Amino acid sequence: MRAATIRDGEVVVADHPDPEPGAGEVLVRVAAAALNGADLLQRKGRYPAPPGSPADIPGLELAGTVAATGPGATRFAEGDRVMGIVGGGGQGELAVVHERQLMPVPGGLELVEAGGLPEVFTTAHDAIFSQAGLRPGERLLVHGAAGGVGTAAIQLARRAGATVTATVRNPDLRDAVGALGATEVLEPEGFEAHGPFDVILELVGAPNLGANVKALNTGGRIAVIGVGAGAKGELNLVALMGKRGAIMGSTLRARPLEEKALTARRMETEVLPGFADGSLRVPVAAAFGLDEVAAAYERFAAGGKLGKIILTM
């Protein structure tokens, strides 16, 4: 098979042996796989794939059709449309995924869109609901809201009955972010004046830490899942104590199979119906063929986009 491959800090297309599914695993013929921030870090050698995942093929999410099943895999049959998160290896023509990590692609959703769904919607749903406990009627603040996880979080929170405020640096994208369900779309500077917020989804990093605490409601929660602008900052613990606030951090990639399977089942019951009824969607900023993988990574790294960058196979 051919796959996006990390070579000396660059991503090129190279040939690899076809993977074979083991016990409980599914061989997926990949139709589409999205790019994520973790792929850029892996390209730089700063975010290695977990044990058992291809070390040199990036890609944390994919969608395609079942090409074959391994011993004991019974959830899906050959030809079924499936999607899911993987520890790596998503950006190739074939990928092996445990059947418990896979989800069915909702009817009416194109595979190109489905390739950009699992990682960001699972990450957003886990962070704001499972981790931060967002409830109907509460106020959510999403930083870096024009990216994949941000656009997913806005839609999920709106659908659950929360009110959403978003920060977006690029003024050209603010109207589009608002159309996804954010009632306020702000420039990042001075956002704390628009609080208090019950939950803050931090996708930017440490520079927001102090203002986040100021903007927090009593009993509020800050969920940190992105640190692209910096990982270290100063925290006023007295201010956090006064708010009776909580700060939590989370990643998906290194979780064991049992925990990833649990997030997939929650997605199936709580999120995928929204794609079936049209209340949720995957904004796609651009799609590139596999042979254009270098251009896809360049476009992703440039920023200033709304939604996902997709590789099609």
Higher pLDDT, 226 or 64: 64
Structural domains in the chain, CATH included, are 2-117+253-312 (3.90.180.10), 121-249 (3.40.50.720)
Check if the beta carbon of residue 308 is closer than 8 Å to that of residue 140. no
State the pLDDT at residue 155: 98
Amino acid 254: pLDDT? 83
The tens digit of pLDDT for each residue in 30-74 reads 999 999 989 999 999 988 988 889 999 999 999 999 999 999 999
CA distance linking residue 4 with residue 309, whole number of Å: 14
- Cα dihedral 111, 112, 113, 117 sign: positive
Residue 105 corresponds to which tokens in the numbers above?
């692609």
Q: Which residues contact 130 (CB under 8 A, 6 or more apart)?
A: 263, 266
| Cα gap 100→123, rounded to integer Å | 17
Q: Let me know if 291 is exposed, middle or buried by CB neighbors in 10 A (0-12, 13-18, 19+).
A: exposed
Would you give the end-to-end CA distance of the chain in angstroms? 11
Write phi, then psi, for 98 (nearest 5 degrees).
Answer: -65, 140
pLDDT digits (tens, 9 = 90+) for 162-182: 999 999 999 999 999 999 999
The token duo for 81 is 């449309």
So what's the pLDDT on residue 303? 86
Residue 207 burial (CB < 10 Å; 0-12/13-18/19+)?
A: middle
CA distance 250 to 259: 13
Is there a contact between 90 and 11 (Cβ–Cβ < 8 Å)? no
Q: In this prediction, what percent of the chain has a pLDDT beyond 70?
A: 100
pLDDT tens profile 109-161: 999 999 999 999 999 999 999 999 999 999 999 999 999 999 999 999 999 99
* Kind of pairing between the strands at 61-69 and 25-34: antiparallel
